[in-house]
Amino acid sequence: MRHRLLRRAMPLPPPPPPPAPRTPGVAGGRLFSSLPPPPPLQSRREVHVWYLLPDELNDASQLKMYMDLLSPSERKTALSMNGEKLQKGAVLSRALVRTTLSRYTNCKVDPGSFEFKKNKFGKPEILWQSDDNKMEWPLHFNISHTSSLIACGITMDNPIGIDIEEKKRKTAKNILSLARRYFTPSEVDYLAKIPDPDAQQKEFIKLWTLKEAYVKALGRGFSGAPFNKFSIEMAAKNGIRISVPPKIFKDSDSTCDCLSENWQFALVELNSSHYIAVCVEDESRSSDSGNGRLPLGLKVW
C-alpha cells in the first residue's frame, strides 16, 4: 500500500461569480481551477481520497456558490438540518462530491449536472443519462464526514466504501461492554487482551471505522450487514483482513448472503486527528490467476 498525506486539508477553492448562461464543463471547471489536475486512476485497485475541513470555509458568498451547485432536493435536505453547522456540512459534502467527480471527467461534466440514485439501502450512485458516455468514466465514489472533516473517495470501476472517525471520539467508558453489543466474539477477545484503556479505545475506533467502510462498500449499510456477522482481523499476517464464518443455516432475512472475504482494506491517519478506512473489492482473491494478493494503491489529498 502506498499513500500520500498532506498536513493541511485542501479546501474547495473560492468560486468566481457564475457566468450566464453556464456552459457544462466550463463554468464548473473554474470552481477548482486553483487545484492541481487529479492524476489518472491507473487501475481498479487505486483509490483517491480528497478531503476538506469545514471550519476553514466561512465566506458566505462562497457557501452560496456551493449551494447553487446542489440539486433542489439536495438543497432542501441541507436546509432541513438542525442548525447552521449541520447545514453547512451538508452543503460542503455534496459540493465536494460534485466538484471531485467533475474533475475526474476532465471537467467535461459540470458539477451541477450530475444526477444520483440510491439503492434500496440508501447508498448513492451516479445516474448517467442515455447521452452520457458511461464507459469513459466508470467512476465510483463514497463520502464520509464528521463535524470537523469531510472526505470523498473515488475509484474506477470498483465499488468503494470509506469511513472517517475522530481519533478522540467519545465512546462509552466500558469499551468491552460496547464491543460485546456490536462486535463478534473474536473482536471482543482482541480488545480484551489490550490492558491500556487508551490503546483499547483506539483499537475499538479503528475496528468500527473498518467495519463501516466494509458495509458501505457492500452498499448495504449497518442494517443490511450487521457488524456482528463478520470479523475484522487487525493483526492478520498479510494486512487487515475480513473473516466471514461459514453459514451453518440460512438466515431468514438473508443478511449473510451478501458477505464475502473478497475485499481489501487500508487504514491511515488523516490530518493527525482522524482515522480513515477504505474498502474496495479485491479481484486478486477471487481470480484464478494464482499471482497472489496485489497491493492497494491509496493517495490522499
* Residue where one domain finishes, among candidates 103, 137, 163: 163
- Distances, alpha carbon 119 to alpha carbons 101, 122, 188, 216, in Å: 19, 5, 32, 12
Per-residue pLDDT at 261: 81
For residue 281, being part of any structural domain is answered with yes
Mean pLDDT in each 10-residue stretch from start to end of the chain (301 residues)? 38 43 31 64 89 90 92 95 94 95 88 90 83 69 94 94 91 87 94 94 95 91 81 79 68 59 89 92 60 69 82
The total number of structural domains that make up the chain: 2
Q: Does residue 247 contact residue 256 with C-beta atoms inside 8 Å?
A: yes
On whether both 31 and 158 belong to a single domain, the answer is yes
For residue 13, being part of any structural domain is answered with no
For residue 138, being part of any structural domain is answered with yes
* Residue where one domain finishes, among candidates 141, 163, 185: 163
On whether both 190 and 252 belong to a single domain, the answer is yes
On whether both 187 and 200 belong to a single domain, the answer is yes
The span from the CA of 192 to the CA of 203, in Å, is 11
Query: In the beta sheet, which residues pair with residue 297?
Result: 2, 46
On whether both 109 and 123 belong to a single domain, the answer is yes
* Residue where one domain finishes, among candidates 163, 192, 220: 163
On whether both 142 and 232 belong to a single domain, the answer is no
For residue 106, being part of any structural domain is answered with yes
On whether both 142 and 208 belong to a single domain, the answer is no
On whether both 70 and 86 belong to a single domain, the answer is yes
Per-residue pLDDT at 236: 59
On whether both 175 and 96 belong to a single domain, the answer is no
On whether both 135 and 222 belong to a single domain, the answer is no
DSSP secondary structure of 245-288: ---SS--TT-GGGG--S-EEEEEEEETTTEEEEEEEE-HHHHSS
For residue 17, being part of any structural domain is answered with no
For residue 179, being part of any structural domain is answered with yes
For residue 83, being part of any structural domain is answered with yes
Best CA proximity match to 25, nearest among 104, 108, 114: 108
The CATH number of whichever domain residue 105 belongs to comes to 3.90.470.20
Q: Does residue 158 contact residue 284 with C-beta atoms inside 8 Å?
A: no
On whether both 185 and 137 belong to a single domain, the answer is no
Best CA proximity match to 74, nearest among 59, 94, 57: 94
On whether both 151 and 239 belong to a single domain, the answer is no
For residue 14, being part of any structural domain is answered with no
The span from the CA of 103 to the CA of 15, in Å, is 15
On whether both 54 and 124 belong to a single domain, the answer is yes
| Main-chain phi, psi angles of 50, to 5 degrees | -115, 135
The enclosing H or E element of 165 equals strand 160-166
Q: Does residue 184 contact residue 191 with C-beta atoms inside 8 Å?
A: no
**Which ranges of the chain would DSSP assign to H, the alpha helix?**
27-30, 60-69, 72-79, 84-103, 175-182, 185-192, 197-218, 221-224, 283-286
What range does the domain containing 157 cover? Answer: 27-163
